[in-house]
Structure 1
Amino acid sequence: MKKTLKLQTRLTIFVCIVVLIALFITFFTIGAQTSRSIREQEKSTALQTAEMVADAPIVPDSLENGKDQELREYTSQVQKITSTEFVVVMDMNGIRKTHPNPDKIGKRFTGGDETKALKGHVHISTASGTLGKSMRAFVPVYNKDGKQVGAVAVGITINEIDEIISHSLRPLYFIICVSIFVGVIGAVIVARTVKNIMYGLEPYEIATLLQERSAMLESTKEGILAVDESGKIKLANAEAKRLFIKMGILVNPIDQDVNAVLPKSRLKQVIETKKPLQDRDIRINGLELVFNEVPIQLKGQTVGAIATFRDKTEVKHLAEQLSGVKMYANALRAQSHEFMNKLHVILGLVQLKEYDDLGDYIKDIAIQQKSETSEIINDVKSSVLAGFLLGKQSYIREQGADLDIQCDNVIPNAADPSVVHELITIIGNLLNNALDAVSNRPKKQISMSMRYHEKQLHIEISDTGSGLSAEDQTKIFEQGYSTKGKNRGFGLYFTQQSMENLKGQMIVTSEKNEGTTFSLRIPYESKEEQHD
């Protein structure tokens, strides 16, 4: 695998390159501007010096009267004061009258750029002379009568100008070096900061992690919906979109307001209260869902919320399978214990040689077992429901209570198998509640009656428990409410949900110390009547 530079190294190099480019551009821009400014300043100095000398009365007078010594002294002073390289006065023939080098006096001015000045024109040029290449300003000299008698040339060598420019740029060199040093340090700090923000991960590691997380979200069997702090949907996995389609929601949920897509969602409430809502059942367009909604907190701040939800039908199938396994295991255990107890009695009677009593005991067991079993099997045509009732009866007997099951007539098999599953949920939860109610009572009696009449199934379950107060009767069907302690209060809630699914009615009758009775009336179409 080809090795690549780490993110921190790449960021450091990149920032350093950007800083260096910016500094070099700045340096050359400022350098060019400074050079241009100094050259213009030197031109102005040379021209002003030449004009000053040309206007001095001593210059035309010396040219006309031959006072060369006085003229040399004057130009030498001007040259020192203005720090120019040379101040040359020439006559109309271009013969030098003054020059920094005395050997050049009396000789013709060199460079060829003096011609314009001798013709009365002021100009500035760059040319090579006896002192090297220089920038020269030329100004004609006129006498009192306005007649041109010569010209003045003031020069500054190019080397001197370059030295002035270099001297002016020295602080800039220092600033550039300091800026490069600071830029490199800043690049390292920026790279480390970015690295820390990304939790020390390299880009390819982040990409891999993102792909893995995305695959996990898309493959989960629960719908996942995430919203930001304003309630806009930012994430919806494949299962969530599938359930949306099943609910008849065909719009793309991303960036939509969650309440517009799911009016029954409470994600905005979760964001405001910062409290989760768990195991909440909602129905949307005929589809029942189990919702869990929790806030998303980052560094102590609530930045959004996430909901996980699943089709309740699938959850109920799983719950029914689990409860069925548990129910049959409990029934087998109860029957095993009951059978062992009876074997102990039989063994005791055999050892005592009470054979007459042994015969009567075995006969009573056989009659009782045949009576209980045959009545339920003969009257309840659904083998699933009959097996459930037999198992429940054995389990309750093992717990020290009695369950009396009476069928006023034959209970036919249901045309819809899902009705039987709902009935098992309803009867199972009510019998469990009745068993809890009589567990601490001297008389532990539970009775159940069933009757089928005109496509209606009537069920009544009574117990000899302590009963319910008026306040409890109004709250017992609320999710999480229980008089038995924490982490309870789901049985009657699910019973109510199943009753609503079957479009049945349930009446609770109870008084303190008088027990409780649940009366149910459920629409029930038999399998035989459907075929007829």
Structure 2
Amino acid sequence: MRKTLRLQTRLTLFVCIVVLISLLITLVFISIDTERNIHDQEKMVAVHTAKMVAESNMVKEAFETKDFDELEDYTNHIQKITETKFIVVMNMNGIRLTHPDPSKIGKRFSGGDEKPVLSGKEHISTASGTLGDSLRAFIPIYNNEGDQVGAVAVGITMDEINDIITAHLLPLYFAIFISLGVGVIGAVFVARKVKNLMFGMEPDEIATILKQRSAMLESTKEGILAIDKTGKITLVNAEAKRLFSKMGISKNPLNQELKKLLPNSKLLQVIESKKPQNDRIIRMNGLELVFNEVPIQLKGEIVGAIATFRDKTEVKHLMEQLTGIKMYANALRAQSHEFMNKLHVILGLVRLKDYDELGEYIKDIAINQQTVTTEVINRIKNPVLAGFLLGKQSYIREQGASLQIVCESVIPNTSVSSVIHDLITAIGNLLNNALDAVSASEIKEISLSLKYKNDQLFIEVIDSGTGISKEEQSKMFEQGYSTKGKNRGYGLYLVEQSVERLNGHIVLISEKGEGSAFSIRIPYIQKEEKND
């Protein structure tokens, strides 16, 4: 398997190559422009020098007098001033009259590019002569009558031009070299910065994590929704889309405003308060959702919030296990303990052969049990609720307190099966709360009253406990609030939730040190009995 370069190395090489190519392109364009400008400047120098010589009175007089001795000194002087390589004055036959090398005077001009000027045409050319390759400017010489009598050739060698170009480009080469070094250092810094931003992971590792994250989000059985600081939805998994569809929201939630889509959500408040909201019930379009909303922190800054939610009906069985079903188990366990204690007493009396006392004991148990059981069973027609209350009575008695169950009227069975589960949750948690309240009291008495009238069920739980202060009453239905320590404060919260689901109403009357009385009223539809 071929081993690929690490991301940091690839980024460094990529940035270096980009910088190098950019600098080379810059160098090429500047070099071409510099070379063109210098050639243009040297051409102008050569042309201006040639014109100055051609229009000189000394040159015109020399052609009239045919005395060219002083002319050579003049051209040599001009050559030094203008720093040109040569200034040659020639006659109409192309014979040199002046030249930097005296041995060349009197000989024909070499290069072959002088012919146009001898015909009266000014021009510039590049040719090879006795002094090597050179840039030449040719200007015709006219006498005072306007007749051409000769020509001037001014030359600058190509070596000199190239030296000038090199001298101008040397600072550029140095700047390119410095820029390349800075670019390499910047490339290394950028590569390290990108590597740190990606937590040291390679692209293939990031791709794997992204695939795993997408698979996890899409396969989870909870809806997941995330928003940014502005309240725009940035993430929605498949389960969330399914639940939205059940609520009648058909369009894609991504990039939608949360307020328009879920007005009951508190994700924006979570961002502002930086505190999570747990196990909230949101009702929308006939659907009940259990929401958990938490802020998203990145380097200590809140950048958004995320919500996980499930359909309440889908988690109903789990809630029943944590509330009503747990209470069933506790009640049955209490009855089992009480039954075992009675069996131990009976076994002891049998071994002592005290049969008279045994008979009285069994008679008392039977009468007491029959009285209590008969009252509950005859008055409460739902067997699940009746069995739960009998078990709860045994459990409270086992804890050293007493529970009196009073049915002021017959409590019929209900036609809605889910009502019983919520009733057990509410009554069970109220009885547990009452048991905690009387645990520190000398008199440990609890009373449960049930009454059915006009399709309404009235429930009242009274205890002889320590009571609840006004300050505690304002917070007692909040989830997690408790005066009994950590990991408590769910009982009364579940009571309130159950009563709300039953469309009921709950009232508390309590004074500190005088006990408490919880009164509940809920709609209760009687189940119609079938006639045989």
TM-score (norm 1): 0.91
Rounded Cα–Cα distance in structure 2 between residues aligned with 1:136 and 1:513: 121
Higher deviation after alignment, 374-383 or 442-451? 374-383
Residue of structure 2 in register with 1:338 after alignment: 338
Residue of structure 1 in register with 2:396 after alignment: 396
Amino acid at match of 2:50: A
Residue of structure 1 in register with 2:160 after alignment: 160
**8 Å Cα contact 1:415/1:530 also seen in 2:** no
Classify the secondary structure of the residue corresponding to 1:96: coil
Q: CA deviation at 1:399?
A: 0.5
Rounded Cα–Cα distance in structure 2 between residues aligned with 1:257 and 1:322: 36
Residue of structure 2 in register with 1:445 after alignment: 445
Rounded Cα–Cα distance in structure 1 between residues aligned with 2:180 and 2:531: 93
Rounded Cα–Cα distance in structure 1 between residues aligned with 2:355 and 2:265: 71
Shift of the 427–128 alpha-carbon distance from structure 1 to 2, 3 Å rule, reads: same
Residue of structure 2 in register with 1:195 after alignment: 195
Residue of structure 1 in register with 2:242 after alignment: 242
Shift of the 316–53 alpha-carbon distance from structure 1 to 2, 3 Å rule, reads: same
Amino acid at match of 2:498: S
Residue of structure 2 in register with 1:296 after alignment: 296
Q: CA deviation at 1:13?
A: 1.6
Give CA-to-partner distance per residue, 1:402-445, whole Å, 9 cap, x none.
12224455433322211111111121122112212222222222
Higher deviation after alignment, 490-499 or 478-487? 478-487
Classify the secondary structure of the residue corresponding to 2:372: helix
Q: CA deviation at 1:207?
A: 1.3
Pairing of 1:58-69 with structure 2 (within 5 A): 58-69=58-69
Amino acid at match of 2:3: K
Rounded Cα–Cα distance in structure 2 between residues aligned with 1:58 and 1:512: 131
Rounded Cα–Cα distance in structure 2 between residues aligned with 1:520 and 1:51: 119
The question of 1:260 aligning with 2:260 is answered: yes
Rounded Cα–Cα distance in structure 2 between residues aligned with 1:216 and 1:489: 33
Pairing of 1:440-519 with structure 2 (within 5 A): 440-468=440-468, 476-482=476-482, 484=484, 487-510=487-510, 514-519=514-519
The question of 1:358 aligning with 2:358 is answered: yes
Amino acid at match of 2:31: G
Classify the secondary structure of the residue corresponding to 1:527: coil
Pairing of 1:11-26 with structure 2 (within 5 A): 11-26=11-26
Identity fraction in percent = 67
Give CA-to-partner distance per residue, 1:108-159, whole Å, 9 cap, x none.
2223322232233322122232323322111122233433221111111223
Which blocks of at least 5 consecutive residues in structure 2 are unaligned?
none
Amino acid at match of 2:130: T
Classify the secondary structure of the residue corresponding to 1:528: coil
**8 Å Cα contact 2:324/2:428 also seen in 1:** no
Residue of structure 2 in register with 1:106 after alignment: 106
Pairing of 1:199-348 with structure 2 (within 5 A): 199-346=199-346, 348=348
Residue of structure 2 in register with 1:57 after alignment: 57
Rounded Cα–Cα distance in structure 2 between residues aligned with 1:464 and 1:173: 97
Q: CA deviation at 1:474?
A: 5.9
Rounded Cα–Cα distance in structure 1 between residues aligned with 2:175 and 2:476: 81
Higher deviation after alignment, 120-129 or 337-346? 337-346
- When the two chains are superposed, the root-mean-square deviation of aligned CA atoms in Å is 2.6
Shift of the 474–322 alpha-carbon distance from structure 1 to 2, 3 Å rule, reads: closer
Classify the secondary structure of the residue corresponding to 1:315: helix
Rounded Cα–Cα distance in structure 2 between residues aligned with 1:410 and 1:92: 145
Structure 1 outlier segments of 4+, above 6 Å:
none
**8 Å Cα contact 2:324/2:425 also seen in 1:** no
Amino acid at match of 2:372: E
Higher deviation after alignment, 347-356 or 307-316? 347-356
Amino acid at match of 2:320: E
Rounded Cα–Cα distance in structure 2 between residues aligned with 1:404 and 1:394: 11
Shift of the 54–508 alpha-carbon distance from structure 1 to 2, 3 Å rule, reads: closer
Q: CA deviation at 1:165?
A: 1.7
Shift of the 298–473 alpha-carbon distance from structure 1 to 2, 3 Å rule, reads: closer
Rounded Cα–Cα distance in structure 1 between residues aligned with 2:142 and 2:530: 135
Shift of the 20–475 alpha-carbon distance from structure 1 to 2, 3 Å rule, reads: closer
Shift of the 471–303 alpha-carbon distance from structure 1 to 2, 3 Å rule, reads: closer
Rounded Cα–Cα distance in structure 2 between residues aligned with 1:496 and 1:431: 14
Shift of the 425–73 alpha-carbon distance from structure 1 to 2, 3 Å rule, reads: same
Give CA-to-partner distance per residue, 1:230-271, whole Å, 9 cap, x none.
111111222222222222233322222211111122222222
Shift of the 221–45 alpha-carbon distance from structure 1 to 2, 3 Å rule, reads: same
Give CA-to-partner distance per residue, 1:83-121, whole Å, 9 cap, x none.
222111111221111122333221222233222322333
TM-score (norm 2): 0.91
Shift of the 320–364 alpha-carbon distance from structure 1 to 2, 3 Å rule, reads: same
Higher deviation after alignment, 372-381 or 174-183? 372-381
**8 Å Cα contact 2:403/2:446 also seen in 1:** yes
Q: CA deviation at 1:46?
A: 1.0
Rounded Cα–Cα distance in structure 1 between residues aligned with 2:509 and 2:45: 116
Q: CA deviation at 1:356?
A: 2.3
**8 Å Cα contact 1:64/1:149 also seen in 2:** no
Rounded Cα–Cα distance in structure 1 between residues aligned with 2:531 and 2:94: 137
Amino acid at match of 2:380: V
